[in-house]
Amino acid sequence: MNLATCIKRAMAVWPEREAAVDGQKRYTYKELGARIAALTQALNGLGLTKGSVVACVAPNCVEYLELYFATALLGVVLAPVNYRLSAAEVREILLHCDAELLVSHTDFAALTTEAVQALPSLKMVTWLGSGILPRTGDVKGFHYEQFVMRHWGHELIDTGAGGSDLAQLYYTSGTTGEAKGVMLSHDNVATHALGAVAELQFSDGDVWAHIAPMFHLVDAWAIFSLTWVGGKHVFLPYFKVDEVLPLLEAEAVTATALVPTMVNQLVKSQKAWDYSYKRLKAIMTAGSPIAPELVRQVEEIFGCTYIQFYGMTETSPILTISLPKWEHLSLPKEKRQEIRSKTGRPFICVDLRVVRPDGTDVEHDGVEVGEIIAHGPTITAGYWKNREATAAAIKDGWIYTGDLAVMDSDGYVNIVDRKKDMIISGGENVYSTEVEYVLQEHPAVFECAVFGIPDDRWGEIVKATLVLRPGMTLTSTEVITFVKERLAHYKAPREVEIVEEMPKTGSGKILKKVLRDKHWDSRVKRVN
| H or E, element range at 75 | none
What is the per-residue pLDDT across 43-73, written as a single tens digit (0 to 9) for each?
A: 999 999 999 999 999 999 999 999 999 999 9
The verdict on 430 and 501 lying in the same domain is: yes
**Does some domain include residue 230?**
no
Domain termination site, one of 388, 418, 448: 418
For the chain, the average pLDDT equals: 92
What is the per-residue pLDDT across 164-192, written as a single tens digit (0 to 9) for each?
A: 999 999 998 544 456 799 999 999 999 99
CATH code for the domain in which residue 433 is found: 3.30.300.30
> CB atoms < 10 A from the CB of 249, how many?
15
DSSP 326: G
Closest C-alpha to 158, from 279, 75, 102: 75
**Does some domain include residue 439?**
yes
The pLDDT, as a whole number, for residue 522 is 46
The pLDDT, as a whole number, for residue 288 is 67
**Does some domain include residue 194?**
no
Asked whether the predicted pLDDT for residue 326 surpasses 60, the reply is yes
**Does some domain include residue 227?**
no
Query: What does the DSSP assignment read for 350-365?
Result: -EEEEE-TTSPBPPSS
d(CA 46, CA 42): 6
As for how many domains the chain has, the answer is 3
The verdict on 381 and 430 lying in the same domain is: no
What is the per-residue pLDDT across 493-525, written as a single tens digit (0 to 9) for each?
A: 999 999 999 998 877 888 888 898 877 554 433
The verdict on 501 and 365 lying in the same domain is: no
> CB atoms < 10 A from the CB of 500, how many?
6
Say what percent of the chain tops pLDDT 70. 96
Query: Do residues 309 and 284 touch, judged by C-beta distance below 8 A?
Result: yes
Which of 392-396, 462-466, 521-525 has the least mean pLDDT? 521-525
What is the per-residue pLDDT across 237-268, written as a single tens digit (0 to 9) for each?
A: 999 999 999 999 999 999 999 988 899 899 99
The mean pLDDT value for 196-220 works out to 97
CATH code for the domain in which residue 369 is found: 3.40.50.12780
What backbone torsions phi and psi does residue 283 show, to the nearest 5 degrees? -110, 125
The pLDDT, as a whole number, for residue 508 is 80
Domain termination site, one of 144, 160, 187: 187
**Does some domain include residue 18?**
no
The pLDDT, as a whole number, for residue 488 is 80
Strand pairing category for 101-105 and 53-57:
parallel
The verdict on 397 and 286 lying in the same domain is: yes
**Does some domain include residue 468?**
yes
The verdict on 487 and 372 lying in the same domain is: no
The verdict on 373 and 504 lying in the same domain is: no
Per-residue pLDDT band for 287 (boundaries 50, 70, 90) equals: low
The mean pLDDT value for 448-469 works out to 89
Domain that holds residue 515: 423-522
4-13 helix and 186-200 helix, angle to the nearest 10 degrees:
50
Distance (Å) of CA 98 to CA 76, 236, 260: 12, 30, 34
d(CA 233, CA 237): 13
The verdict on 267 and 397 lying in the same domain is: yes
Long-range contacts formed by 426-430: CB under 8 A, 24+ apart: 426/458, 426/459, 426/490, 427/459, 428/490, 429/369, 430/462, 430/490, 430/491
**Does some domain include residue 481?**
yes
d(CA 128, CA 105): 4
What backbone torsions phi and psi does residue 177 show, to the nearest 5 degrees? 135, -150
Q: Give SS3 for 201.
A: coil
The pLDDT, as a whole number, for residue 290 is 75
The verdict on 165 and 273 lying in the same domain is: no
The verdict on 384 and 446 lying in the same domain is: no
